[in-house]
Amino acid sequence: MTDKIKIKVSLFVANILENDALRFGFMKNGKSNKNALLNKLIPTLVEVRKARRNEIEEILTNEYNRKDGEKIYSAVNTVIDKVYFNGEELNVLEEYIWIRPTKEAMPCYDEIETSEVLITAQEISVYIRGLLNEYSRLPQYKREMLTFDKELDAFANACETHQILHFRDKETNERYKAFAFDYCYGYLYDQTNYCIIYDINNKMIKSVPLHRIQDIYAIRQKYKSSERLLEELQVYCDNCSFDEEIIMGVE
């Protein structure tokens, strides 16, 4: 795999990536760091694409019992990428972006080079442009969920298990020991994903934007919440305006 990948994209896609890098906190020396955004995002987009292919294959095999399912499966994957994600309607390809693969993301780019481009019959740059075209069509809250899918998975799992969660707010650098309650996204002009927590140390209910959660992990110990706390958390979720951080004290 080369040290750098050059991709030609539309102005629309370039602007979306610029906006998301700034909004999601991928910054370096006061400017957007699109390379950091892309190295975190692309492995997830590849997994989404692979999951879709697997679903197509399962439907052909289990629901239609096609003997020629493998041939149809191969053709469908190529056609979907070439027709649906070619991005012609996203305006002329006039902007260049560069990706410098990080050590952590390198296995993904190797997989694209050795496997994905063969399945889709595309060059690496065309394949990645298709991923970014699909990503750029999505609403902002969904783009944030894809970019921070690992953080969201860890938070969602803690919501289900009630395991105590530890994480750092990368904007304030504050560390949290928290009970994870739920997550939701703002509506209309604000589409940020908010993680609703009970701050165990400070005895506060608050929301933290998903893109600010970093170094997240759960411990085995579970938090035993009172009925009153659960009621107040639910009231907060139902009535809070998530375009601002609102903090409520709990006895």
Residue 89: CB partners within 8 Å, gap ≥ 6? none
Token code pair at residue 156: 């969602």
Spatial distance between the Cα atoms of 197 and 178, rounded to a whole number of angstroms:
6
Q: Enter the DSSP assignment of 205.
A: E
Confidence of residue 143 (pLDDT cuts 50, 70, 90): very high
Token code pair at residue 220: 């085995």
The whole model's pTM is what?
Answer: 0.87
Confidence of residue 239 (pLDDT cuts 50, 70, 90): confident
pLDDT at 124: 92
Confidence of residue 140 (pLDDT cuts 50, 70, 90): very high
Q: Which H or E element spans position 40?
A: helix 34-62
Average pLDDT over residues 94-113: 93
pLDDT at 93: 85
Note the pLDDT tens digit of each residue in 69-94: 666 666 666 666 666 666 555 667 88
What count of Cα atoms within 13 Å lies in the side-chain half-sphere of residue 96?
4
Give the bridge partners for 196, in sequence order. Answer: 182, 207
